Amino acid sequence: MTKSIAIEEATELVSIRRKLRKEKRQLFFRTIGQNKAAVVGGFIILFYLSLTILAPVLAPFDPFEIELEDKLQGPSTEHWMGTDDKGRDILSRILYGSRLSLAVGFSSVLFGAFFGILLGLIAGYYGKWVDTIISRSLDVMLAFPGILLALAIISALGPSLINVTIAVGVFSIPLFARIVRGSTMEVKNLEYIDAIRTLGANDFIIIFRHIFPNILSPIIVQGSLRLATAILSAAGLSFLGLGAQPPSPEWGAMLSSGRDFLFTAPYMAIFPGIMISVLVLGFNLFGDGLRDALDPRMKK
């Protein structure tokens, strides 16, 4: 009889928890809609995603076609952003380059988030020696500045856009892992987790079905803010010649090509620089809005 009552109470507690999650989602959308900065950031991100999808339609020229007779032409009605030192249309290259920059940003963050979340969940849930080993390993990674760690990885793997994605993703792992570890240690001691154990759930179900959905808020915030850093880091590495290789229209590589013509054709560097800056600003604005909407300490 006592066991039956305990199971009923546990089931009711889990049901209440699900209702609370639904109410939190509704409150989130209302809050994010009232944050003007987040709305602006969201529109910027949607605009860039639209450029990425519609690049083949919007690009007026082939981004790889070399026309030496048209080289270093300034912005005009034919070439809105001018042409580079090989006569390629800069607007077309920027439109196609948005695919590379966004792909590297999202891929590196997903790479870092996947391994960081996994390590953080294991360390936070099991604790003891498992937590000690994982935490000390993460501390070693955090001892190196992110860009230096990325440079070391690329030096070992070789310069390429894929290796830049891996390098930027690797130095994102400890950031996600520490956030997830702390949140997991807090959530695993709540009453509804004890109730789920009473129902006979194993560790896998408890971790991925009940703990993980309830710690998504800080992960989403960190991911959105990390996207800006990842895109900027990838562009910086390509600028140094360690990422995308010619004739790739990646924005960092375009900036690197344009620095030799800052006095004769400054638009070669100005337009890619503006695209990077605005995109990073969009992710930062949207990330700050997410933090305000999802972090209860930021709410009045």
Q: Which domain holds residue 197?
A: 2-59+81-298
Whether 64 is in a domain gets the answer: no
Token pair recorded at residue 86: 């090989």
Out of 89-93, 193-197, 215-219, 260-264, give the one with best mean pLDDT.
89-93
* Contacts for 23 with CB less than 8 Å, ≥ 6 apart: none
Q: How many domains does the chain have?
A: 1
* Residue 70 maps to a domain: no
The Cβ of residue 116 has, within 10 Å, a number of other Cβ atoms equal to 27
Separation CA 95–CA 89 (nearest Å): 10
Residue 76 falls inside a structural domain: no
- Is 121 domain-assigned? yes
- Contact between residue 226 and residue 180 where contact means Cβ atoms under 8 Å apart: no
Residue 68 lies in a domain: no
From CA 90, how far away is CA 272, in angstroms rounded?
9
141-193 pLDDT per residue, tens:
888 777 788 888 888 888 888 888 998 899 889 999 999 998 888 888 777 77
Q: What is the largest CA-CA distance in the chain?
A: 89
In this structure, is residue 67 part of a structural domain? no
The answer as to whether 99 is a domain residue is yes
Q: What is the arithmetic mean of pLDDT over 109-136?
A: 91
Instruction: Tell me the CATH number at 204.
Output: 1.10.3720.10
Mean pLDDT calculated for residue range 221-234:
88
69 located within any domain: no
Cα separation, 139 vs 277, in Å, equals 31
Report yes or no: 279 and 48 within 8 Å, Cβ to Cβ. Answer: yes
Handedness of CA 241, 247, 252, 255 (dihedral sign): positive
